[in-house]
């Protein structure tokens, strides 16, 4: 990942006021339309995969600059804002918060059917990105939001967020499909979090040995693996303990991995039922029995600073907000005149932001 820093993202509950959310949808629609017109749908994906741009986008829309709600509300407003324009924009959004996130594959399939888009690879990317951030990276954050953005050409990006109710913080994960060479080796565009903390990171480059041994163990008979568990001697290098592993519950899932014989770590991770405890157990045995330690390098170190809905640096000015939406509409309409006139129309927007 190219940029580093530290960010605090408090976990906030509640909803955006109706008056603000309705405006957010209008402005998000105009901004996405402008990006698609000026550049292309793939450029929109790049912007969303950039945590700095995404944070700034949320600030322009008037939301809290540091709240976890910026992720869910901004993506919700964007999805609502482009509704009905997806075909013209060649840009689509599936998924969302809570139960909606679990319907992402179904939504991708429905969009694909409606617009003649091949969805098999897209659905795989959606599921694998969620599996990586919830299982292969064990950092104390449980995913509760998953948004999958894609184009007609099959390009995609992911923005998803997890929460840690214990310390009331949130962590946001960004993916860009064109940059993912391997789902289980440093796949993220960025991970945004509050602070450094011990994390089991099996997608780190230095976890290669642990991935290989974990996959090999998954192909072994369960009795052989559980026998290893009964003879482990734990070190003090990290906070994973044998008490974290229940051999009885582990047995059933190891039977499934033994029957499936996964060829590599990605195939292992993709098996239904293989969750954090299974991966944690295999990585523990990998280190303590076979001398192949996984990485505990936290993948997240990012920082931001802007203002918004909470009054920082000033309360949302409704009049200015509405004026901005109107200006964006005029700019987009003017863009149909011609390329040079389009550029001039966009540039004229700067005058509307002078206070």
Q: What is the 3-state secondary structure (H, E, C) of the chain?
A: CCCCCCCCCECCCCCCCHHHHHHHHHHHHHHHHHHHHHCCHHHHHHHHHCHHHHHHHHHHCCCCCCCCHHHHHHHHHHHHHCCCCHHHHCEEEEEEEHHHHHHHHHHHHHHHHHHCCCCHHHHHHHHHHHHHHHHHEECCCEEEEEEEEEECCCCEEEEEEEEECCCCEEEEEEEEHHHCCCCCCCCCCEEECCCCCCCEECCCHHHHHHHHHHHHHHCCCHHHHHHHHCCCCCCCCCCCCHHHCCHHHHHHHHHHHHHHCCCCHHHHHHCCCCCHHHHHHHHHHHHHCCCCCCECCCCCCCCCCCCCCCCCCCCCCHHHHHHHHHHHHHHHHHCCCCHHHHHHHHHHHHHHHCC
pTM of the model: 0.76
- Which of 12-26, 82-96, 217-231, 305-319 has the least mean pLDDT? 305-319
Contact 194, 68 (CB under 8 A): no
Top-confidence residue, 332 or 296: 296
* Distance of alpha carbon 255 from alpha carbon 253, whole angstroms: 5
Top-confidence residue, 16 or 332: 16
* Distance of alpha carbon 113 from alpha carbon 122, whole angstroms: 13
pLDDT band at 250 (very low <50, low <70, confident <90, very high): confident
Please tell me the predicted confidence (pLDDT) of residue 164: 86
Per-domain residue ranges for the chain?
18-199, 205-288, 318-353
Please tell me the predicted confidence (pLDDT) of residue 313: 45
pLDDT band at 341 (very low <50, low <70, confident <90, very high): low
pLDDT band at 305 (very low <50, low <70, confident <90, very high): very low
Burial class, 41, CB count within 10 angstroms (exposed 0-12 / middle 13-18 / buried 19+): buried
Smallest CA-to-CA distance from 106 within 56, 57, 148 is with 148
Residue 236 reports pLDDT greater than 60? no
Across-strand partners of 151? 91
Please tell me the predicted confidence (pLDDT) of residue 65: 55
Residue 260 reports pLDDT greater than 70? yes
* Distance of alpha carbon 34 from alpha carbon 327, whole angstroms: 11
pLDDT tens-digit map of 159-179 = 999 988 888 888 899 999 999
Q: What mean pLDDT is predicted for residues 269-277?
A: 86
Q: What mean pLDDT is predicted for residues 72-87?
A: 94
Within its chain, how far is the Cα of 114 from the centroid?
25
Q: What mean pLDDT is predicted for residues 133-155?
A: 93
């Amino acid at each position: 990942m190219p940029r580093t820093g530290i960010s605090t993202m408090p976990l906030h509950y509640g909803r955006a006021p109706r008056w603000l959310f309705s405006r957010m949808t209008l402005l998000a629609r105009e901004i996405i339309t402008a990006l698609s017109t000026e550049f292309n749908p793939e450029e929109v994906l790049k912007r969303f995969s950039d945590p700095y741009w995404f944070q700034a986008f949320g600030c322009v829309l008037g939301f809290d600059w540091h709240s976890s709600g910026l992720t869910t509300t901004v993506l919700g407003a964007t999805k609502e804002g482009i509704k009905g324009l997806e075909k013209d924009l060649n840009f689509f959004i599936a998924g969302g918060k809570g139960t909606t996130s679990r319907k992402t594959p179904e939504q991708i399939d429905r969009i694909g059917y409606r617009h003649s888009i091949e969805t098999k690879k897209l659905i795989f990317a959606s599921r694998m990105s969620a599996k990586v951030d919830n299982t292969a990276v064990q950092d104390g954050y449980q995913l509760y939001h998953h948004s999958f953005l894609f184009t007609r050409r099959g390009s995609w990006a992911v923005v998803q967020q997890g929460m840690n109710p214990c310390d009331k913080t949130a962590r946001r994960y960004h993916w860009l499909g064109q940059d993912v060479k391997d789902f289980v080796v440093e796949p993220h565009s960025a991970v945004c979090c509050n602070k450094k903390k011990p994390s089991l990171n099996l997608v780190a480059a230095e976890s290669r040995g642990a991935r290989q041994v974990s996959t090999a163990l998954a192909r072994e008979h369960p009795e052989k693996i559980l026998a290893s568990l009964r003879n482990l001697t734990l070190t003090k290098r990290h906070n994973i303990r044998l008490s974290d592993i229940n051999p009885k519950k582990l047995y059933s899932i190891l039977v499934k991995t033994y029957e499936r014989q996964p060829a590599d770590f990605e195939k292992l991770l993709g098996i239904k039922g293989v969750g954090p405890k299974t991966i944690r157990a295999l990585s523990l045995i990998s280190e303590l029995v076979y001398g192949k330690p996984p990485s505990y390098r936290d993948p997240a170190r990012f920082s931001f600073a802007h203002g918004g809905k909470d009054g920082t640096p000033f309360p949302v000015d409704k009049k200015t907000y509405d004026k901005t939406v109107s200006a964006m509409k005029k700019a987009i309409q003017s863009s149909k005149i011609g390329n040079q006139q389009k550029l001039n129309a966009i540039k004229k927007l700067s005058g509307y932001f002078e206070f």
